[in-house]
Structure 1
Amino acid sequence: MLPNCCALEPERLPPAITSAVTLPVIDMSCSREEVRQAMLDAGKEFGFFQVVNHGVSEQVLRDMEVVCEEFLQLPAEDKAHLYSDDNKKLNRLFSGSTFKTGSFWMDCLRLACTFPGLEDSVNEWPEKPKRFREVFQKFVTQARGMGLEILQLLCEGLGLPIGYFEGEQTDGNVFVSTIWYPPCPNASTTLGLPPHCDRNLITMVLSGTVPGLEVFYNGDWLKVEPVRNAFVINFGIQLEVVTNGIIKSAEHRVLTNAALPRTSVVTSLMANDDYVIGPAEELLSEDNPARYRNTMFRDFMRLYNKALEESGGDVKQAIKYFKI
């Protein structure tokens, strides 16, 4: 039975469209010029796309599937010490949501990773199952490398200096969130995750083979069809600000499923807390003045959360807080 805290009003559950429009699937083994143009076009149009031949080895992907399932099946007593409702705790296991706009049908293990010095982070991760730390360490290292390469391709496409996104823009924590969406007894009355935009530069989602992710596009919800071994790439609000609105950050949500469980692994690159985010000077001109304020990243995260809460989860209203 669905808990009352997870039940949503019908107006918060508009159906997705049945459309011929699909997210672009970009083959990163193609020519560099072709790949960067495809990513730039997809970023402008959708804020989302999928990538294949991305450099994360298939063996690592299969190992992640195995250890994520093994962790899920561990006895409750082996995971009890990881549970926490404190969203300021870097490494924790929790249910419901990190959003204050409601509770949702999901469980999540969130782990923080630092680069350099990943070995220190690993010591804070779960010790069970046996290969957990080894596999997660390989995965986050390769996924982070993929994300940095995508950002470098964007630099080239936008005409920004080489390495523009290196350093403080991406040397904060890397968060790896493994999210389990169990079969839901009343899938039509709740969500796995509510409509939201990610706040950071870039998020990479390994979403398995069960559909559920939807992206808001041209006034409707667009279903994202899973592609085997692909990552879904999601550009966040920070990138929208840095590009002065050239790249869009799109709302997205996750539906529940009455019959099938779904697992996704979400890797998010974060800025240094003290980094001041704002439009890149190289993209500004008299005809294209800054549209967003300069804000320290830690304040940006806090103020966005506050604006989202005060607006009842209205993402557009929350983003307006940072516009000039």
Structure 2
Amino acid sequence: MAPLIDNNVNSLFEFVVRDGKGVKGLVDLGISTVPEQYIQPPKERISLEKLAVIGPAHQPIDLSGLDGPNRDEVVEAIVHAAETLGFFQVVNHGVPLRVLDTLKDTAHMFFAQEAEKKAIYLKEVSPSPLVKYGTSFLPEKERALEWKDYISMMYTNDDEALQQWPDNCKEVVLEYLKASNILVRKLVEILIQRLESKREVPDGLIGLKMVNMNFYPACPNPELTVGVGRHSDMGTITVLLQDGIGGLYVKLEQETNDHEFEHEPQWMEIPPVDGALVINIGDSLQILSNGKYKSAEHRVRTTSKESRVSIPVFTAPHPTYRIGPLPELVKLDGVARYKEVLFGDYMKNFFGNTHDGKKSLEFARVDDSP
């Protein structure tokens, strides 16, 4: 590592975070080992030897069946996934494959730019409140930094997106977002209708939309780091485009009979599937469903082979929207497992704390709920 930041916590933080060089800046220096600031505690590292094998029940769901005689089977598969793993993949989803391929190339090109061109979007200096470039999740508070750089683009309307998002990615990102919005509404409608509820999808429940482009540089010691730590998403539903390298892992809720895993959680990889999109349930749907749907705890591993990208679309309630269990479900269940909260407050709590599994849900949990 360059002498400027060698074994100096403050210098590394300034270089990576404050100056906007990011993890890619470290890699470009030619480092051969992971800096101490990125070494995760042993319990947070991802062991490839202790992973569950994906089964047929978790193969991609073909959404073209929603328009045919097999609609009920497809709906059942979506609902079952939301009630159990909280993650599933979809094909024939309506987002053009051309857009997905272009988007992955665009993400790689964006992060290949000189650091100065990306750093203009650092939170403190960004010319737009809709765009933020950064690294890790909450570097000021994290015990160990995440091996990830990202750019986040908030959506308000098409005109502001085209005016304020970065020129070299805005058009394809907007096309991806708008196509994903159609998919999100379709999925949320299915899930709400299965909650013994006759209500339409409230616009406020899916009123906040944001796209991230995440970049995970090749890591010299992937066994010591994480790309993203254990967390669940705060919003309603997330649509994620993976590249072909992989590294996304989901925590299994069910217990295992294997003694080797008896006292520790088991994780399963969501393998990349060409042309597929990954869907995961967020905290807001778990709260609204009174716990029937499961927000998925997940994390990302780094790799030493090559740099990878992922592009999620986060759909969440509007900050002024109040989220809580549907009254008809509370009546049916006989208990409210969550209290009603203003989503803006939930979001502030989420972004104010480091990743720690599904601890974010405690903000809305009723103290004596099961």
Q: TM-score normalised to the size of structure 2?
A: 0.79
Identify the residue that residue 223 of structure 2 maps to in structure 1: 188
Q: Distance in 2 between matches of 1:163 and 1:119?
A: 28
Determine if the alignment matches structure 1 residue 124 to structure 2 residue 156.
Answer: no
Identify the residue that residue 161 of structure 1 maps to in structure 2: 198
Say whether the 8 Å CA contact 1:291–1:323 is kept in structure 2. Answer: yes
Cα distance, 1:319 vs. partner? 2.3
Say whether the 8 Å CA contact 2:346–2:363 is kept in structure 1. Answer: no
CA offset digits 1:262-303 (Å, max 9, x no partner): 110010012111111000112222643211010000111223
Structure 2 vs 1, CA of residues 85 and 45 (structure 1 numbering), >3 Å: closer, same or farther?
farther
Q: Distance in 2 between matches of 1:253 and 1:10?
A: 15
Determine if the alignment matches structure 1 residue 234 to structure 2 residue 280.
Answer: yes
Identify the residue that residue 140 of structure 1 maps to in structure 2: 177
Cα distance, 1:89 vs. partner? 4.8
Larger Rg: 2
Identify the residue that residue 20 of structure 2 maps to in structure 1: none
Identify the residue that residue 315 of structure 1 maps to in structure 2: 357
* One of 339, 342, 355 as aligned partner of 1:293: 339
CA offset digits 1:17-39 (Å, max 9, x no partner): 34333434111011332222111
* One of 41, 44, 51 as aligned partner of 1:12: 44
60-69 or 9-18, larger mean C-alpha shift: 9-18
Over the aligned positions, Cα root-mean-square deviation in angstroms equals 2.1
Q: Distance in 1 between matches of 2:113 and 2:325?
A: 46
Q: Distance in 2 between matches of 1:67 and 1:259?
A: 20
Cα distance, 1:14 vs. partner? 4.7
Identify the residue that residue 261 of structure 1 maps to in structure 2: 307
Unaligned runs of 5+ in 1: none
Q: Distance in 2 between matches of 1:59 and 1:113?
A: 22
Percent of aligned positions that are identical: 29
Unaligned runs of 5+ in 2: 1-32, 255-264
CA offset digits 1:49-90 (Å, max 9, x no partner): 001100001111122122222222223333331233689953
Identify the residue that residue 221 of structure 1 maps to in structure 2: 267
Cα distance, 1:206 vs. partner? 0.2
Say whether the 8 Å CA contact 2:46–2:223 is kept in structure 1. Answer: no
Cα distance, 1:170 vs. partner? 1.1
Q: Distance in 2 between matches of 1:80 and 1:34?
A: 48
Number of aligned pairs?
313
Identify the residue that residue 133 of structure 2 maps to in structure 1: 93
Q: Distance in 2 between matches of 1:140 and 1:34?
A: 27
Say whether the 8 Å CA contact 1:112–1:175 is kept in structure 2. Answer: yes
Identify the residue that residue 62 of structure 2 maps to in structure 1: 27
